[in-house]
Amino acid sequence: MTISYQRDLFTGIAEYATACGRWQMVGDLPAYRDPDQVASPSLQHEPDGVIGFITDAGWVEDKLGRNTPVVTTSASCQDTPLVQPVVTDNIAVGRLAAEHLMSKGLTRFAFHSTSGGRRFVAIREVGFTSALERAGHALDHRWVTSDVGARYEAEQVANWLKRLPKPIGVMAVADEQGWFMLSIARNLGIRVPEELAVIAVNDDPIATQISTPPMSSIGLNMRVAGRRAAQVLDELMQGTRTIGQPIYVPPETVTERESSRIHITPDSLVTNALTYIRDHADQPIGVDDVVARIGISRRNLENRFRAAVGYTPHTAIMRAHIDRAQHLLSTTDLSIAQVADAAGFGNARHFSVAFRKATGRTPSDFREHPAPLNFE
Domain ranges of the chain: 3-88+222-254, 90-212, 268-368
Strand pairing category for 216-218 and 254-255: antiparallel
Q: In this predicted structure, what is the pLDDT of residue 35?
A: 45
Q: In this predicted structure, what is the pLDDT of residue 272?
A: 87
Q: In this predicted structure, what is the pLDDT of residue 316?
A: 92
Non-local (6+) Cβ contacts of 276 within 8 A are: 290, 293, 294
Amino acid at 8: D
CATH architecture of the region 268-368: Orthogonal Bundle (1.10)
Does CATH place domain 3-88+222-254 in 3.30.450.270?
no
Q: In this predicted structure, what is the pLDDT of residue 284?
A: 94
Do 268-368 and 3-88+222-254 fall under one CATH topology?
no
Q: In this predicted structure, what is the pLDDT of residue 114?
A: 82
**Positions in the chain short of pLDDT 50:** 30-42, 373-376
**Which helix (DSSP H) or strand (DSSP E) does residue 27 occupy?**
none
Three-state SS for 197?
Answer: strand
Q: What is the pTM of this model?
A: 0.75
CA atoms within 13 A on the CB side of 344: 19
Q: In this predicted structure, what is the pLDDT of residue 49?
A: 87
Q: In this predicted structure, what is the pLDDT of residue 143?
A: 87
Q: In this predicted structure, what is the pLDDT of residue 28?
A: 56
CA distance 32 to 231: 19
47 Rama class: left (phi>0) / alpha (psi -120 to 50) / beta: beta
Total length of the chain:
376
Non-local (6+) Cβ contacts of 256 within 8 A are: 100, 216, 374
Q: In this predicted structure, what is the pLDDT of residue 27?
A: 64
Q: In this predicted structure, what is the pLDDT of residue 45?
A: 64
The predicted-structure confidence for 184-203, as pLDDT tens digits, reads as follows: 999 999 999 989 999 999 99
Q: In this predicted structure, what is the pLDDT of residue 199?
A: 98
- Please tell me whether the peptide bond between 213 and the residue prior to it is cis, using omega within 30 degrees of 0: yes
CATH class for domain 90-212? alpha beta
Q: In this predicted structure, what is the pLDDT of residue 275?
A: 83
Amino acid at 127: G
The predicted-structure confidence for 298-347, as pLDDT tens digits, reads as follows: 999 999 999 988 899 999 999 889 988 987 887 788 999 999 999 999 89
